[in-house]
Amino acid sequence: MKGLILSGGKGTRMRPITHTAAKQLLPVANKPILFYAVESLVGAGIREIGIIISPETGDDVKECLGDGDRWDVTIDYILQDEPLGLAHAVKTARDFLKDDPFVMYLGDNLIKDGVGPLVQRFEAGQADAFILLKEVENPSSFGVAVLNGDGKILSLEEKPKKPKSNLALVGVYLFNHEIHNAIDKIKPSKRGELEITDAIAKLIDMGHSVDSHVLTSWWLDTGKKDDMLEANRVVLDEMTEGKIDGFIDDITRISGRVAVGKGSKLKNCTVRGPAVIGENCCLENTYVGPFTSIGDRAKVSNAEIEHCILREDCQILDFHGRIEDSLIGVNVELTRGHHKPVAFRLMLGDDSKVEVV
C-alpha cells in the first residue's frame, strides 16, 4: 500500500495568507497541516508516500517535509503543473503508483482517527475502491454519495445544486489499480477538471465494487480562515496535558493545558489553556485565552489574544486591545496608536505591517 498526498492547488480561499505560503503548510496547534496527513499514513503502516506539489509552492513543501527521514519513510515529490482535478493528480502520479493499491489523502484535511482502520478494512475486503463519508449541513459544497442498505455506493455527484443525500466525500480515498482505467475513460467536467467523483462513478458503471464508511468522529477541511481556527480549536481541545519548557516569572498565571516552548519568556502574563506557545517567544503584560497557538519567535506585549493562530516571527507590540478569531501570518508587525478598548478580528498575510489608529 502506497500513500498519495495532494499538496498542490492555489489556495485561493485562504488569500492573502496563501499568496506567500502553501495552504497545507499553515499551522494547526503549531504543526503544519501536512504533517498530520503524513502521520496518518505512517500510522497505517505506509512507508512509500508521494506528494503532489505545484510549481508555486512545491519548493516550500519540499523544504518543510524533506526526504521523509523524520518519519522513517520515503517521500517522492510529483509536480502537477496545473490544478486540473483530483483524478488528474492521480494520473500525474501514475509512474509512482504503478499498479499498487494506494490511499489518496487531501493535504488540507484533518481526520480524528487516522486511516489505519480503513486501510485494514480495504485490504481485507473485495472492493476496488473505498471512500470516506461524513454527514454535513451543506452537501452542495462537496462531492455527494448515495448509498444502498449495505453501504455500497449507488451514485455520486460533484457539488450538486440539489443533493440527493447529505453524505459528503471526505478527503480520503483508497483505490486499487482499476482506478487508472476509470480515469482514462472520463472527460473533464464543466470546471475543466478531471473529477475523482466521475472516476469513481465510472468504476461503478464498469461493474466494480465501491465500498464506504461514514465517519462519526470529526473531520475538518481547512480551506478557509474559520475552518483553520476550528481545526486549531479541535486539536488543542484534545491536548491531554501541558508542558512548560520556557521561563515563567512569578506573577505570570498559567491555568489549564498550556505548552510553552524552549527559550520562550513570559512576564506578567495570564495564559488559559488549551494553548500552545512556540520556542523563543517573548510575551509581556499579555492575556492569552483558550484555543490560541503562537508560533516560534513571536513577540506580544500589552495585548489580549484568544481563539487565534499567530504564525512565526509575528510581533504584536503595545496593542492595548483584544484580538480574537484571527489568523496572523509570518513576520507580521501589528501595533496600535490609541488605547480605547476594542476587539479585532483579523486575517493578515505574511510580512504585513499594520498600525491601527
Domain residue limits, the chain = 2-220, 239-356
Position 72 confidence tier, pLDDT thresholds 50, 70, 90? very high
The burial class, CB within 10 Å (0-12 / 13-18 / 19+), for 355 is exposed
pLDDT value, residue 262: 96
Q: How confident is the model at residue 355 (pLDDT cuts 50, 70, 90)?
A: low
Q: What is the pLDDT of residue 77?
A: 96
Going by pLDDT thresholds of 50, 70 and 90, the confidence category of residue 56 is confident
Lowest mean pLDDT among 3-17, 88-102, 212-226, 255-269: 3-17
Which pLDDT score, from 0 to 100, does residue 353 have? 66
| The predicted structure's pLDDT at residue 215 | 79
Q: Specify the pLDDT at position 335.
A: 80
**Total-model pTM:** 0.84
pLDDT given for residue 339 in this prediction:
62
Share of the chain above pLDDT 70, in %: 90
Query: What is the b/e burial string over 157-195, where b = at least 16 CB atoms within 10 angstroms of the residue's CB?
Result: bbbeeebebbbbbbbbbbbbebbbebbeebeeeeeebbb
Q: What is the pLDDT of residues 148-165, one digit of tens each?
A: 777 677 888 878 888 888
Identify whether the C-beta of residue 121 lies closer than 8 Å to the C-beta of residue 148: no
Give me the pLDDT at residue 21, please. Answer: 62
Q: What percent of the chain has pLDDT over 90?
A: 47
pLDDT tens digits along 224-238: 778 889 888 988 998
Does pLDDT of 313 surpass 90?
yes
Q: Is the pLDDT of residue 337 over 80?
A: no
Greater confidence, 137 or 71?
A: 71
Does domain 239-356 fall under CATH 3.30.500.10? My reply is: no
**Backbone phi, psi, residue 75, to 5°:** -120, 130
Per-residue pLDDT for 342 more than 80? Answer: no
* Segment 303-326 mean pLDDT: 91
Q: Quick one: 2-220 is in which CATH superfamily?
A: Spore Coat Polysaccharide Biosynthesis Protein SpsA; Chain A (3.90.550.10)
Which residues does residue 6 pair with via DSSP β-bridges, in sequence order?
A: 52, 106
> Which region among 173-182, 302-311, 345-354 has the lowest average model confidence (pLDDT)?
345-354
Grid cell 508560533 — which residue? 295
Average pLDDT for the chain? 86
